[in-house]
């Protein structure tokens, strides 16, 4: 299938995203002096914006390329939840699967940017696993939505939505309905992601998840990919390696894909873009290697932007024409 044909099919794809919702807050300003109170920069604030983070950013990446999305997760009963839901609705993202949990605070990450440099990030959140009642509500929604979805994407940021019980039930339902399932993993939950179609860890997550302290050479890296495949019994693993691109591991082979990034301003959310675009392409019938190449080009675009960013279909087409022959 030609890559342009795959892109044309994006508008017909329906992806169900399950994961941790985060509100990204950016405070922009300038710093021209050091504080007399402590050796820290004084930032004169010029602007403040809110963006979708975590599973919300994954959804935003799919929407920006023309796909349809339903998001499943939880928020607290607070102002951050109001802003987050407003941003999701603004993007026409289905929020019917987002439930309010009065026992938690909505995750919000605040980044202070001076010029083009991130000075500090501070987080406000509650990290705890779903209650049995919340798990039941979420699984009921997933059960209802899976038949009409092309794929289920698990966006695990380790805040508590992606529990062992939830993953096991999602895997069971996707197998029953013959749907794709992909995972953007969290280190501490690594052993949970068995029997999925594709896992997309970065190299640090892959090493830590498998208890590997150091890679001495290329052969060690290849063995790492093979070990993940064997341990988790998954169809494939796509390990992202920053400036070194990414490598797709399948049962009988592995394929390295060099980076397409020309300039890197900010890697915030790049992993979200990779899993979003990979899943979108797979949903349209693309092969694993075709999907990985498209995701690689998409990531190359977003790291050239400041802040939590997405890629448009036009930008992706242009990137594909430059780097994929």
Which residues are designated catalytic? Answer: 272
CA pair distance 187, 206, nearest whole angstrom: 8
Which stretches of the chain are assigned E, i.e. beta strand? 14-19, 21-34, 41-54, 68-75, 94-100, 107-114, 117-124, 151-155, 180-184, 198-199, 236-240, 246-250, 254-257
- Residue whose structure tokens are 């329906």: 14
CA pair distance 49, 28, nearest whole angstrom: 8
Tell me the pairing of strands 117-124 and 107-114: antiparallel
CA pair distance 197, 235, nearest whole angstrom: 5
Q: Which two tokens stand for residue 116?
A: 């083009």
């Amino acid at each position: 299938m030609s890559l342009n044909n795959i892109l044309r099919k994006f508008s017909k794809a329906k992806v169900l995203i399950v994961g941790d919702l985060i509100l990204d807050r950016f405070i922009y300003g300038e710093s021209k002096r050091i504080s007399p109170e402590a050796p820290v920069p004084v930032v004169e604030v010029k602007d403040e914006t809110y963006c979708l983070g975590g599973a919300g950013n994954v959804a935003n990446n799919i929407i920006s390329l023309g796909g349809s999305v339903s998001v499943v997760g939880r928020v607290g009963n607070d102002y951050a939840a109001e802003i987050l839901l407003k941003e999701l609705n603004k993007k026409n993202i289905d929020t019917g699967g987002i439930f309010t949990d009065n026992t938690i605070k909505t995750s919000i990450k605040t980044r202070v940017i001076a010029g083009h440099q991130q000075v500090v990030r501070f987080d406000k959140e509650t990290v705890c696993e779903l209650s049995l009642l919340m798990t039941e509500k979420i699984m009921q929604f997933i059960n209802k939505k899976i038949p009409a979805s092309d794929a289920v994407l698990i966006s695990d940021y380790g805040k508590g939505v992606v529990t062992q019980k939830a993953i096991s039930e999602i895997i069971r339902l996707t197998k029953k309905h013959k749907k794709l399932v992909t995972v953007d993993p969290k280190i501490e939950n690594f052993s949970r992601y068995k029997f999925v179609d594709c896992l997309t860890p970065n190299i640090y997550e892959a090493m830590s998840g498998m208890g590997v302290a150091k890679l001495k050479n290329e052969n060690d890296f290849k063995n790492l990919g093979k070990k993940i495949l064997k341990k988790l019994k998954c169809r494939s693993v796509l390990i992202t390696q920053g400036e070194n691109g990414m490598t797709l591991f399948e049962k009988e082979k592995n394929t390295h894909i060099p980076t397409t990034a020309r300039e890197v301003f900010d890697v915030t959310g790049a992993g979200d873009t990779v899993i979003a675009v990979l899943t979108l392409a797979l949903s349209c019938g693309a092969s694993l290697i075709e999907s990985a190449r498209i995701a690689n080009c998409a990531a190359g675009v977003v790291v050239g932007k400041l802040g939590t960013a997405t890629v448009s279909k036009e930008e992706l087409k242009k990137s594909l024409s430059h780097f994929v022959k």
